[in-house]
Amino acid sequence: MTERADADEGLLVRVDPGPARGSRAHRGVEGKRAAIVRAATELFLRQGYQATSTEQVATTAAVSKQTVYNQFGDKQSLFRAIVLGVTVTAETFAAGLADALGGADSPARLDAALRALARRYLATVTNPQVLALRRLMISEAARFPDLAAAYYEQGPSRVVAALGPVLAGLADRGLLVVRDDDRAAVDFAFLVLGRHLDEAMFKVEHRGLPTAEIEAGADHAVDVFLAAYGVSS
């Protein structure tokens, strides 16, 4: 079972703990696995799946080729671990939705909470490495259709699915008017991400949105969302 996430410039990747935690063997295995994941991620993102060999990964990670096989089995399994590993970002975000919005007890506090959430959502999804891996997964979707579907379900879809019940709960407390919580969650997600995600996906040299653009985009999305789902004064 995965017990920690290794963060590398915004990319969250699951690292299996291996032997008993705290032991020298554990630290050695964990360090090698993390090095392999970082090396493979760098190579896959820079030159694609097909052009990356297990030997290149081993050389970049400063481990033997056999170590790569021992830890991940083969290149395809390593690729799968990296693709699904980045969904830790979505998992963490989804898990925090109730806390992010649940404390709102008035329209004004809900407004502030939604804006903070929208800003964090937009910044997270347009993280340069997250975008790069999304592009890579799309380019390899025909080769790995099951993996592409799993990435979608465990990543983008997970957040929307978790947001629906939270919005429904806010409606039950009289803070929103929501007749279809799934539709409301989709509307929020697309209002926040919309053009920014679409544009960033096609700009390979994207280095992240400026703070001012994140704030302006998120605030506009919340304005439109509350115009449709807010409680009339």
53, 74, 95 — which closes off a domain? 74
Indicate if 69 and 91 belong to the same structural domain.
no
Residue 178: DSSP 8-state: -
Cα distance between residue 104 and residue 127, in whole Å: 27
Same domain, 121 and 63: no
What residues make up the domain containing 191? 86-229
Task: Judge if 205 and 102 occupy the same domain.
Answer: yes
d(CA 71, CA 93): 28
Q: Is 80 within a domain?
A: no
Residues 153 and 192 in one domain: yes
CB atoms within 10 A of CB 77: 12
Q: Does 81 map to a domain?
A: no
Last residue of a domain, one of 21, 49, 74: 74
What radius of gyration do the chain's Cα atoms show? 20
Q: What is the pTM of this model?
A: 0.82
Q: What is the CATH number of the domain that holds 53?
A: 1.10.10.60
Residues 6+ apart with CB under 8 A from 140: 49, 79, 147, 148
> How many structural domains are present in the chain?
2
In SS3 terms, 83-142 reads as HHHCCHHHHHHHHCHHHHHHCCCCHHHHHHHHHHHHHHHHHHHCCHHHHHHHHHHHHCCC
Task: State the Cα angle at 194 between 189 and 198, rounded to 5°.
Answer: 130
Distance CA 7, CA 14 (A): 9
pLDDT by residue for the chain (233 residues), tens digit each?
Answer: 333 334 333 344 554 544 445 545 445 667 898 899 999 999 999 999 999 999 999 999 999 999 999 999 999 999 999 998 888 888 889 999 999 998 899 999 999 999 999 999 999 999 888 898 899 999 999 999 999 999 999 999 999 999 999 999 999 999 999 999 999 999 999 999 999 999 999 987 777 889 999 999 999 999 999 999 999 75
- The verdict on residue 79 lying in a domain is no
Instruction: Decide: residue 111, CB within 10 A, 0-12 exposed, 13-18 middle, 19+ buried.
Output: middle
Residue 192 lies in a domain: yes
Please tell me whether residues 172 and 209 are part of one structural domain: yes
